[in-house]
Amino acid sequence: MLKEVQHKSHFMGSFPCGTDLLEGLTGICEKENITLGRVEAIGAVQKACFGYYNQKSREYQFTEKNFEMEILKCSGNISLNDGKPMVHAHIILADEKGTAFGGHLAKGTVVFACEFIIQSFGGAEFIREFDDSTSLRLWK
Ligand code: ZN
């Protein structure tokens, strides 16, 4: 599927130490009524939780890292799921040696310092619905 979208506005900000990254991003979308857009963030986290979607079992496997890391890149999109804005983001993190890893951003990723940009789009609606071929909630 493909739809043209129009740029509406940009938001730039930072999260205080201790913010859950996914909840923080989702909270801004709810507060500012952003239902379509893109998001990116950099900074550092105190700990992280990210997912890997097992295509055979069709379940997310979550990895927790309970140490301090850099956010090399976190990027994703915003669309509607069950009538609410949902942030779907992936994150690449690095440990103190610069070794990188990451996955599907999950609740439990706690900010040490984080600067983000959210771009809001209009002109189209992207709604997530269950997809039989993947068992994921994808855009229809
Ligand atoms: Zn994902």
Apex 71 CA angle, 65 and 74, nearest 5: 105
Residue 27 forms part of a structural domain: yes
- The alpha carbon of 133 and the centre of ligand 1 are apart by a number of angstroms equal to 16
Indicate the pLDDT class of residue 8, thresholds 50, 70 and 90: very high
Residue 72 forms part of a structural domain: yes
- The alpha carbon of 87 and the centre of ligand 1 are apart by a number of angstroms equal to 10
Residue-range definition of the domain harbouring residue 78: 8-139
Residue 13 forms part of a structural domain: yes
Residue 54 forms part of a structural domain: yes
DSSP string, 59-101: EEEEEEE-S-EEEEEEEEEEEEETTEEEEEEEEEEE-TT--EE
- The alpha carbon of 17 and the centre of ligand 1 are apart by a number of angstroms equal to 24
Per-residue pLDDT reduced to its tens digit, 84-120? 999 999 999 999 999 999 999 999 999 999 999 999 9
Per-residue pLDDT reduced to its tens digit, 20-66? 999 999 999 999 999 999 999 999 999 999 999 999 999 999 999 99
Extract the tokens encoding 87.
């942030």
Domain total of the chain: 1
For the domain that residue 43 is a member of, what is the CATH number?
3.30.1330.80
